[in-house]
Amino acid sequence: MKQKAGLAWECSVPFVRYIEDTGITCELITPQMMGAPYYRGNMVSLIIPTGFGNPAYSGLLPALRASSGRINKFLKKGGRVIVFGAMSTEHDRYDWLPVPVTYVSEYFASPVTVDEQNPLATILEDFDTSEIDCDGYIQDPEGEVLAQTDDGKAIMVAYPVGKGTLIVTTIHEYPSRGFLRHICTCESETLF
């Protein structure tokens, strides 16, 4: 079994260490690497952290848009992509994804209900679900809702794309170690 994640960001952040402490190899993928035609990373999952869509936090969004075809191919070939909250009130921050996503930026804490039948819902297994921090919600999701607030706001949605899976979440916490092990483990890596 292969265990490898790519984390998209400009520089190394504590999230990389957190992933590696879970026992998963993690490669930092900078915007320059992501857009370079010669970059050929192999991984199981690509992780896009919170704040990617807000220029005050990150310059990643232009690289994601320029790499949208590459991300779509990665998914179709069996890759997994986990996208956290954009942290922006602009409505076009997810326009690089192969599925429509309407993100509403709104920081709140709420009790959360998860689909315990789906192994992807283990994202919150290390947390008390009676009070989860979120940086927004997904409005009118077209995918499978895996976690939602008690008042019905979708905070984690899965979309099948080819042989792969796209997960969009607004949970403002690191994912659980069990979730990372599940989502970043596969028989083989996928070329990005």
Give me the CATH number covering residue 104: 3.40.50.880
What average pLDDT does the structure give for the chain?
A: 95
- Answer yes or no: are the C-beta atoms of 53 and 64 closer than 8 Å: no
- Look at the block and give the residue holding tokens 């403002």: 172
Give the whole-angstrom CA distance, residue 178 versus residue 182.
6
Report the relative pairing of strands 45-48 and 112-114 from DSSP bridges.
unpaired
Among the listed ranges 3-12, 112-121, 153-162, which one has the minimum average pLDDT value?
112-121
pLDDT value for 121: 85
Structure tokens at 40: 């050929």
Task: Count Cβ atoms within 10 A of the Cβ of residue 56 and give its class: 0-12 exposed, 13-18 middle, 19 or more buried.
Answer: exposed
Owning domain of residue 159: 2-191
- Look at the block and give the residue holding tokens 């989860």: 132
Number of domains the chain contains: 1
Supply the pTM of this predicted model: 0.96
pLDDT value for 57: 93
